[in-house]
Amino acid sequence: MGLETLTEEKIAELLGSPKRVVNPQARERQDGKHLRRDYRVVSVDGNHLFSLFTRQSTKIADGFSAGLLWHAKTGEEVILMRCNGNDHPHPNKLEREHIAFCCHVHMATERYIQANLKTEAYAQETGAYRTLSGALHHLVEQAHIEGLKTEPDGPQQTGLFGGET
């Protein structure tokens, strides 16, 4: 299957298939201005290989990302889902939308593939996480990945006047 034939149904099937991390003790390493961790992931049926990755900026606390990369049998690699921090705005080019500085989830879409844009260029705002560990937890839950202990972000704290603390 080539990238150009990746449909919404196939993307949903890949994300929905049960998966297992095979190296849960993966070590964090320096990668330029980021700390990076890479996990190998296999579908439970053994038909698909994935990489689960985290990146944390060493300069910007809210500069983080957790993503799931599918290794197609054709040799192509496709980011199916990526949970980003709130350190940058994001444009959804086809929709002519602009996401301000908030956490957002990138999703592979057939529409963006057909438009010859980055596979996962479409994103949606989210309140599901605020930290890298929360983003990883959200991704692991959404992509049905087992074999990795993760924790959700705790509830947001509010101050006396309704603002975050």
- Domain residue extents for the chain: 3-146
Q: Which residue has the tokens 């930290």?
A: 131
Strands 145-146 and 19-21: parallel
d(CA 119, CA 67): 13
Which residues 6+ apart lie within 8 Å of 139 measured at CB? Answer: 52, 66, 67, 68, 81, 83, 145
Q: What pLDDT score was predicted for residue 52?
A: 98
Q: Which two tokens stand for residue 14?
A: 């890949």
Q: Of 80, 67, 8, which is closest to residue 36 (Cα–Cα)?
A: 67
d(CA 39, CA 29): 12
Q: What pLDDT digit, counting tens, does each position of 80-137 carry? A: 999 999 999 999 999 999 999 999 999 999 999 999 999 999 999 999 999 999 999 9
Task: Give the predicted TM-score (pTM) of the model.
Answer: 0.90
